[in-house]
């Protein structure tokens, strides 16, 4: 009897020790995060996440400040991603260039040492930890519904990181392909695959209002859309309308907004 009681006491004591050994931050909902991005050709941004049982994201960009409430799941998923990022291996060595983007900041999880970071234009293969950190930030942003101005800014900032083809498909009527940034020959295969994947014989808008230029070598990729029925509606500002005319788009197939053109209301930010 005494031996049984002793074993029960020993088990209970061991269980208490195991519980005490669990880090205080296991719930992963109590942290502060600062992310400063200094891109070469657009205004800098500061992104702050304050997660103390409830989460809020604040972003300062182009003389604007926006505050966005985060869902509980987004707060915890970002925390989990950051813990994974910190544990990643990466060769040491500072990189810097004449353009690109300089990133710095700090992550502080309650009950754990702070983690400071600073890097320049991370390459996914050679700087996997730095790239994963930037990817985690944009994945968090993809859980939010930004303003029209913030959506356009985030697209412009995203192209400083190698996230893939700067294009997204917005489902609905009409189906919309939104392109952004500078479209170079590097995206030729990705754009061809995207255009080939679009369903045929449905209304299609191609939104190029946040495109800042396109290489002429991409014209054949875009010309594959000219034979669609019904015809594509091309939404663009005057700067890009000339290039669209060069590749064969008729003026009556173009819409030129007179003010900032926005994605549909209540649309979450997305890189693709």
Whether residue 233 is contained in a domain is answered as yes
What is the pTM assigned to this prediction? 0.87
Whether residue 266 is contained in a domain is answered as no
Which of these three, 156, 184, 206, is where a domain ends? 156
Residue 126 φ/ψ region, left for φ over 0, alpha for ψ in the -120 to 50 degree band, beta for the rest: alpha
Amino acid 265: pLDDT: 83
- Helix 72-86 and helix 128-141, axial crossing angle in degrees, nearest 10: 180
Residues 223 and 179 in one domain: yes
- Helix 148-158 and helix 128-141, axial crossing angle in degrees, nearest 10: 160
Residues 238 and 214 in one domain: yes
Instruction: Quote the number of domains for the chain.
Output: 2
* Nearest one of 20, 180, 38, 27 to 99, comparing CA atoms: 38
Amino acid 27: pLDDT: 64
Whether residue 120 is contained in a domain is answered as yes
Please tell me the distance from the alpha carbon of residue 85 to that of residue 138, in angstroms, as a whole number. 14
Domain that holds residue 78: 30-156
Residues 48 and 152 in one domain: yes
**The token pair that represents 140 in the structure block:** 């968090």
Whether residue 11 is contained in a domain is answered as no
pLDDT digits over 91-123, tens only? 876 777 778 999 999 999 999 999 999 999 999
Q: Sign of torsion, CA 136 62 271 101? A: negative
Measure Cα distances from 25 to 74, 129, 151 in Å: 16, 22, 32
* Nearest one of 128, 99, 133 to 116, comparing CA atoms: 133
Amino acid 53: pLDDT: 80
Residues 250 and 191 in one domain: yes
Whether residue 269 is contained in a domain is answered as no
Which of these three, 95, 127, 156, is where a domain ends? 156
Residues 193 and 118 in one domain: no
Whether residue 247 is contained in a domain is answered as yes
Whether residue 272 is contained in a domain is answered as no
Residues 98 and 168 in one domain: no
Residues 137 and 170 in one domain: no
Residues 171 and 151 in one domain: no
Weakly modelled stretches of the chain, pLDDT under 70: 1-27, 93
Which of these three, 119, 137, 156, is where a domain ends? 156
């Amino acid at each position: 009897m005494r031996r049984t009681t002793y074993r029960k006491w020993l088990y209970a004591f061991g269980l208490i020790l195991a519980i005490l050994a669990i880090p205080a931050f296991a719930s992963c909902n109590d942290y502060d995060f600062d992310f400063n991005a200094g891109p070469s050709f657009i205004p800098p941004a500061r992104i702050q996440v304050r997660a103390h049982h409830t989460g809020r994201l604040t972003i300062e960009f182009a003389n604007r400040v926006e505050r966005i409430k985060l869902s509980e799941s987004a707060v915890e998923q970002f925390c989990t991603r950051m813990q994974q990022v910190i544990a990643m291996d990466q060769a040491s060595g500072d990189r810097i260039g004449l353009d690109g983007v300089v990133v710095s900041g700090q992550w502080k999880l309650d009950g754990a040492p702070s983690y400071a970071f600073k890097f320049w234009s991370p390459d996914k293969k050679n700087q996997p930890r730095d790239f994963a950190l930037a990817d985690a930030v944009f994945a968090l942003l993809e859980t939010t519904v930004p303003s029209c101005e913030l959506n356009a800014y985030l697209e412009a900032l995203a192209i400083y990181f190698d996230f893939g083809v700067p294009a997204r498909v917005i489902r609905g009527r009409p189906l919309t392909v939104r392109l952004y940034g500078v479209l170079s020959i590097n995206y030729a295969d990705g754009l061809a695959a995207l255009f080939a994947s679009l369903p045929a014989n449905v209304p299609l808008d191609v939104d190029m209002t946040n495109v800042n230029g396109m290489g002429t070598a991409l014209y054949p990729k875009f010309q594959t859309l000219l034979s669609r029925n019904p015809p594509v509606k091309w939404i663009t500002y005057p700067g890009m309308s000339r290039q669209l005319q060069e590749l064969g788009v008729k003026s009556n197939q173009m819409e030129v907004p007179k003010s900032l053109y926005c994605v549909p209301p209540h649309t979450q930010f997305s890189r693709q």
